Amino acid sequence: MHLSRIRGEWVAMLIAACAVLSACTPKDTSPLTVQGSGSVSATAIVVAQPSAEYTLPSTRLLSSDKEGRPLTYLGSPAPIFTYNSENDILLAYCYETGSAHLPYDLSSGLPADGSEHPVYIPDLGIDAWVYFDSGLGIWRVSVSEPGKPKEECIVYIDDPAITDRAENLRREVQSGAQPRYYAMDNGLYYAYDGKAKEISIDLNGDGTAEKVVFEKSADHVDGTSDFVIRINGELAAELLKVNSMEGAFETDVDANDVFREIAFEYRDASGKPATLLMRYDGNSIRTAVFDAWIDCAGNGTVFLRSEEDGSSAEKFIADEWFRFVTLTDSSGLGETEVGG
């Protein structure tokens, strides 16, 4: 038999087989939708899986509560996203401490190509979008709720105790903030709820936590209020004629020094955002007042966040004496020393 005839017969047989398979196999060209996902319909969606490579610290396992309670933030289900450098994976914690649930692995198998990849987190019914920012060398995550736009979330440096602080951990990236992996302490936020708020934080790096308290001290007929801030019982600063107190958060202006700072967010008498940034060295207190919300990148730079366009309109750099120099033509800065 000629070789050309053999080839012709095989080709004919393959064509016939393909025709049979095509006739027997139903065609479904509709996008893949994961059950329970209300806002994502994509052709390549990933359902997050518990991390097989991550070792759950024994301190997180409590026999009295094997199931654990789902994590929430501002009344809604909200995971805590972290990056574990040892295993090079992006994780999502969904349950409070005491849970036997492993965090979800969101990045294994995803191409680090700069494209957004939809990921569904079934435990909380959360739709997330994950992508690797090659310019910054970090994984970034956004989530959405039905009827709302996507919102970028903070990705923390993985810490076995991170769910212990879930109540005070910010989830959303503030407008204008520098994209990065956050240390857990840099995401702790203490919202003012009308009562005196106490924070324990080692501000001067001596190994002993200071007790920082902020509370209302007076109300005025024009609707404004005064607030006092105390460190270890001593008056540290006063905020006068404040429209509202938003809260305070721990931060680190310069990761290379021993100090940690605390920032107090409020609205001034006109209702505009303002921030009092405070440093305590064990003897004296220095403060800087910015006419905006701020973000500290840890390299000595303070970025001002704009409510209008969500960008860093201005940035300042601090010297070793906690004096700030603007890197633009605008000022918006007042500096004073309190104490001695």
DSSP letter string over 137-202? TEEEEEEE-TTS--EEE-EEEP-TTGGGGGGGB--BPPTTPPPSEEPGGGGBEEE--SS-EEEEE-
DSSP-based helix, strand, coil % in the chain, nearest 5: 10, 45, 45
Q: What is the DSSP letter of 39?
A: S
Distance (Å, rounded) from C-alpha 139 to C-alpha 160? 19
CA nearest 321: which of 286, 294, 295, 297? 286
Q: How far apart are CA 197 and CA 261, in angstroms?
A: 17
Angle at 200 between CA 229 and CA 253, to 5 degrees: 75
Q: What is the pLDDT along the chain (340 residues), one digit of tens a residue?
A: 333 333 333 333 333 333 333 333 333 322 222 222 333 333 334 455 555 444 433 332 223 334 678 888 877 888 999 999 998 999 999 888 655 678 888 888 888 888 898 888 887 888 889 999 999 999 999 998 767 788 899 999 998 888 888 888 889 887 667 788 988 877 788 889 999 999 999 999 999 999 999 999 999 999 999 999 999 999 999 999 999 999 999 888 888 889 999 999 999 999 999 999 999 999 999 888 888 888 887 778 788 776 554 445 566 777 777 777 775 544 444 443 332 3
Q: Which two tokens stand for residue 149?
A: 């736009």
Q: Which residues contact 2 (CB under 8 A, 6 or more apart)?
A: none
* Dihedral angle, C-alpha 291, 296, 302, 304, nearest 10 °: -40
Q: What is the Cα 249 distance to its own chain's centre?
A: 13
Tokens 């001596």 belong to: 206
- Give, in order, the Cα–Cα distances in Å from 96 to each of 79, 122, 160, 224, 283: 10, 16, 12, 38, 38
